[in-house]
């Protein structure tokens, strides 16, 4: 009798968690569909392969970075440094190719490694030095941007070989490579979050770090790994962005962390930790991308884009919390 109850309770708990994740994604997906339909009706050019591929290509670096950000947010942390780290990885990766003459794939790998290195510093600051993630990554936001200017002397870096453009501008068949990168990173991200120890621990640590530690999870190691992944993905994002424009830009990525956080939050990630999914973040990132795309297609004043995105963050999070509360009180 008692056994049956506990099983039922546990089953109900998991079901409730799944349901609640599903519902927050549903909200964002609903908004995405509404905007998609609206743009299809109002702009003749919106629903063309060219335009949609364009949107996907231009959003790739944001999506990749937002997936890393989601992982951090799930652990109840935050990574404010992703924009600066992306810029640092971008310019250093580009410099290894232009100045050191490294082959393109190695340069790209180098850029990702730089990002991972910055992430490692973030992670150690959080886990070993005991800094609050907000503070640790706020410092890195400044440090990484400063390093960008030191290394580049604040000048753009040109002179990349054409083969470097493949990552951001190439295509396989008819599909742009950045979109393939999105798909690959999203699938890996989904797998990591739902099927690996790291992913499950991330949720556990985000729900209750102390309890996770006491139950035997090596929290320091896993938490550090989460920041390393976020840094590495920021590095990959930086390399995609550099490849898109075939140059290293010291000013790239200003405010990009806000886009990444917004995408995660619109997609149902909670800043209190323990909640967030790759699918949700994908939806969130594309919601923002479609709004930007639509605003240009419909020639809406640039300033309104920011207002609209801000309002959508409010509505998405409010609706999400409202539904969760209702779900919890009904069960």
Partner 1 sequence: MNEKRISRRDFLKVGGTGMAGAALLGVVGCGAKVRQSSSGGKGGGSTGNSGSLRIAVVPKAIGFDYWATVQNGAKCAASEHKNVSVEWKGVTQETDVNGQIQLLQDFITQGVDAIVYAATDAKALHQVSQQALKKGIVTINIDSGTTPQPKQVPLIATNNVAAAEKATEYMAKKLGKKGGKVALIEFQPGTETNTTRVKGFKNVMKKNPQLKLVAKQSSQSDYNTALRVTSDVLTSHPDLSAIYAANEPSVLGAAAAVQRAGKAGKVLIVGWDTASGEIKDVKQGLVAGVLAQNPFLMGYKGVNEAVKKLRTGDKYTLKSIDTGAVLITKGDLNQSKIQSLLNPSCKNPPTWTAQQ
Give residues in contact with partner 1 (CB under 8 A). Answer: 43, 45, 48, 50-51, 54, 58, 61, 145, 149, 153-156, 158, 169, 241, 244-247, 249-252, 254, 292-293, 296-299, 302-303
| Residue found by looking up tokens 């998609």 in the block | 36
CB 42 to partner 1: min, Å: 11
| Residue found by looking up tokens 């409730």 in the block | 16
118: nearest Cα among 257, 230, 282: 230
Angle at Cα 318 formed by Cα 314 and Cα 322, nearest 5°? 175
**299 contact partners, CB below 8 Å, separation of at least 6:** none
CB 81 to partner 1: min, Å: 15
174: nearest Cα among 56, 40, 44, 297: 56
CB 107 to partner 1: min, Å: 18
Q: Which CB sits closer to partner 1, 20 or 305?
A: 305
Q: Which CB sits closer to partner 1, 131 or 166?
A: 166
Is residue 146 within 8 A of residue 92, CB to CB? The reply is: no
Is residue 58 within 8 A of residue 251, CB to CB? The reply is: no
Q: Which CB sits closer to partner 1, 178 or 284?
A: 178
CB 104 to partner 1: min, Å: 19
Q: Which CB sits closer to partner 1, 35 or 205?
A: 35
CB 270 to partner 1: min, Å: 29
CB 245 to partner 1: min, Å: 5
Instruction: For residue 50, count CB atoms less than 10 angstroms from its CB and return exposed for 0-12, middle for 13-18, buried for 19 or more.
Output: exposed
Is residue 182 within 8 A of residue 249, CB to CB? The reply is: no
Angle in degrees, 0-180, between the axes of helices 82-98 and 49-74, rounded to the nearest 10: 120
Is residue 212 within 8 A of residue 219, CB to CB? The reply is: yes
Q: Which CB sits closer to partner 1, 244 or 265?
A: 244
CB 297 to partner 1: min, Å: 4
Q: Which CB sits closer to partner 1, 207 or 246?
A: 246
C-alpha span between 183 and 198 (Å, rounded) = 20
Q: Which CB sits closer to partner 1, 33 or 254?
A: 254
């Amino acid at each position: 009798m008692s056994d049956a109850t506990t099983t039922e309770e546990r089953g109900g708990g998991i079901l409730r968690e799944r349901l609640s994740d599903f519902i927050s994604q549903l909200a964002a997906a609903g908004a995405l569909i509404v905007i998609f339909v609206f743009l299809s009706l109002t702009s003749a050019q919106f629903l063309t392969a060219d335009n949609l591929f364009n949107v996907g290509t231009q959003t790739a670096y944001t999506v990749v970075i937002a997936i890393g950000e989601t992982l951090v947010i799930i652990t109840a942390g935050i990574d404010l440094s992703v924009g600066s780290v992306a810029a640092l990885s971008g310019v250093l990766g580009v410099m290894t190719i232009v100045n050191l003459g490294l082959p393109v794939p190695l340069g790209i790998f180098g850029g990702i490694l730089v990002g991972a290195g910055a992430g490692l510093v973030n992670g150690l600051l959080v886990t070993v030095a005991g800094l609050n993630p907000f503070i640790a990554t706020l410092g890195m936001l400044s440090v990484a941007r400063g390093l960008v200017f030191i290394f580049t002397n604040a000048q753009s870096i040109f002179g990349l070989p054409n083969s470097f453009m493949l990552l951001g501008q190439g295509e396989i068949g008819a599909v742009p490579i950045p979109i393939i990168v999105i798909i690959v990173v999203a699938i890996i991200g989904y797998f990591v979050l739902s099927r690996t120890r790291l992913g499950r621990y991330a949720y556990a640590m985000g729900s209750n770090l102390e309890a996770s530690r006491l139950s035997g999870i090596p929290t320091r190691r896993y938490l550090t790994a989460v920041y390393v992944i976020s840094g590495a993905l920021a590095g990959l994002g930086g390399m995609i962005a550099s490849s898109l424009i075939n140059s290293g830009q010291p000013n790239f990525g200003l405010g990009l962390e806000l886009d990444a956080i917004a995408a995660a939050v619109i997609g149902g990630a909670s800043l209190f930790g323990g909640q967030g999914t790759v699918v949700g973040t994908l939806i969130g990132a594309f919601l923002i991308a479609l709004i930007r795309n639509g605003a240009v297609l419909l020639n809406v004043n640039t300033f309104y884009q920011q207002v609209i995105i801000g309002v959508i963050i409010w509505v998405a999070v409010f609706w999400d919390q409202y539904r969760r509360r209702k779900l919890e009180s009904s069960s």
